[in-house]
Structure 1
Amino acid sequence: MNKFRQPRPLLAGFSVYKGLGTSIYSLFAIRIINRFGDFVQLLLVLILTGKLGLSPKDAGLFVSASVIATMVGQMAIGMAADKWGKKPLLVLCQIMVSLSYLLCAISFVIRPNLIPYLILVASPFRGGTAPLTNTMVADFSPQGRLSHSFSLLYLGTNIGVALGPMAASLLYARSLLLLFSFSAVLLLLSTLLLLITVPNKHTEVQIHDDAGKSKAHIPPILWLFFSFSAVYSLTYAQNSFTLPLQFTSLYGELLGANRYATLMMVNAVVVLVCTTLLTAWTHRLGQLVSMALALLLYVAGYLMYAFCSLYTMFLVATCIWTLGEILMATNSNVFLNAYADPRLRSQSNAYLHVFSSLGHSVSPTLGGFVLLVTGYRQLWMLAAGLCFLLGLGYIALNKYLKH
């Protein structure tokens, strides 16, 4: 947001992350470990159907229940953290998920039919980890360096996501016992790192009296921002729903799947290469202007998806909207945590994740309906139109806040 504008830093490359403090670097390492070791969620459908023998219908029910449990956990733990502190609850969440996965490893040998229920038990605690981590980044970030701190956390997320699938596929091929055990051990390792290196910091407003606490509320501007995030997630999720279907239609099942996987690898490479550079180049724009620019990049990328048929152009389009993804991911958390009342910061981060999850959950249904009555070109044009309107919304919000 432009209220927090700063001059363009002279730093370049990874040097933009200098001086963020030990706690931020620890949270960066913890995010890498957690996302790298998120084997279970990554392969959840395959575990339920391929290894445990559930029907697609039953697997779908468990996955849906897991998503609902995750959102419930995000809200409940986010609200609790504002009262009881972030670090203790984050430690509790990670230990509970780790114990659940260890029990899954044991159950695979003794009673495999318990595994889906143990995964379900872990889901609320797993859901609570992301908003708690985001809140702690805001708490520990040096003054005026919030965008750099969240940029580093986003980079950690993508490093873990880039490396995790390779390890997950190897473990899945060998044994579920190994997969669950490695995931649990990595979670315990990151929890140990959290306990040793990150202090239990409380915001100054937590010492206020009860009367002061009763006045804390989430401002209307953030509720509007949450709604924008849901619309953004609805359009973004088409990359994982519509795009593979379109590639199957264009290139056939095998070649289409291979080319889609290559496209997602390009997406990951662009994120890893360009995050630090974009953070430095757009730092002075303000969060809302940066997000409006991000939506214009999505418009360009999605319109190319609508009209191109050459694979090379799909690659170019992916590079374009991935730059928008970077800008959205690194600026939305900064805006939220700068505007949220520190007494409700964890709860606000939880709401952001819940609204985003709602957008993701609606996206396949909406995309499937549009494809049923029209086609891929019309769907991408609709997504581009929504992105354009959303970009205008961010610009209007920016003008409103400047008055």
Structure 2
Amino acid sequence: MSGSALAFDFQATTPCAAEVVEAMAPFWSAEWGNPSSRQHRLGLSASAAVKLARRQLAEALEVTPERLVFTSGATEANNLALLGHARALGKAHLISVASEHHAVLDPLKQLQREGFSVTLLPPGPDGLITPEQLEEAITPDTRLVSVMAANNEIGVLQPLEQLGALCQAHGITLHSDGAQAFGTLPLNPDALGVDLLSLSAHKLYGPKGIGALVLREGIAIEPLQWGGGQEAGLRAGTLPTALIVGFAAAARLALEERDERNSRLQRLRDQLWEGLQQRLPGVLLNGALQPRLPHNLNISLPGVNGSRLHRALRPHLACSSGSACSNGAPSHVLQAIGRSRAEAEASLRLSLGRDTTAAEVEQAIAVIHDAVAAAQL
């Protein structure tokens, strides 16, 4: 792919913001200490930087700093939450959604192998589940529910607050993968009734390789790795000071810009959707238009050969046909909401970034129109 291709894949990852790179800079070389080495200035300086970053992230989430466990990203946070909590509880019934990210579905498969029973709720054609669906699926053995805040492919926002209230009423733990939502939506786990919340920095213009699990006080978690007692014994390993500082800087920046950025990106997203509907009359929207992330649009193009479409687009437009982790397989999310395999293959996830312009949106509409013409069956 040439460097001149239009970038419309900001849900896969984001570039580090300049402010984030600047915040991290001292900790790659000059301030190179291990935050667990507190016998000298280098270690103390790193420890203080981690402590400050932890506090800043906690403030963004309206929780106490002690409730944050740093991980390598949301995938590890999901594994720690699901495997760690389920194993601590003992064999039970778990509930999730068929359209979750594989970083939730695959740990649940592992728990099934270990003897847990798992129910996956089918989302409606709008991509959403209802509190009534969850209520019906709960059994006396249900101990853990996992529902993502914002879907990574179709961008729809699940009714977390209602689901959280339901789980609390039944004494069930609620986990949510918040990777796509943090920095875009207000995410206060206590207000939402979320007991375990997974986060990632690289979705909000922070560095790759750092994330966090936010835990409710007193929740039982069995560690997945042992070795040095870091992170209150829940996640051993030397803390990456630079990445943690970058994570906090990215969160601060996202919160400062959030309202203005969201309204601007939603206008551009709507411009993209309206333009595509005008140029491609048969285009289908995947998932509800509301409630949805402001920077997400997911479409299917019936009657178009998916592999030809993506081949035609590749030199001109960076986007995806599903999750960045699906390795080109047809999207399980789109199939879960009722799209055929062919429709799932001829789908585009278009995600806008903080620097996307109206001119780029118009260019993307033209590029997609031309690619569809080239890929018609």
> What's the TM-score, normalizing by structure 1?
0.28
More helix per residue: 1 or 2?
1
Q: Which has the higher strand share?
A: 2
Greater relative contact order (Cα 8 A, min sep 6): structure 1 or 2?
1
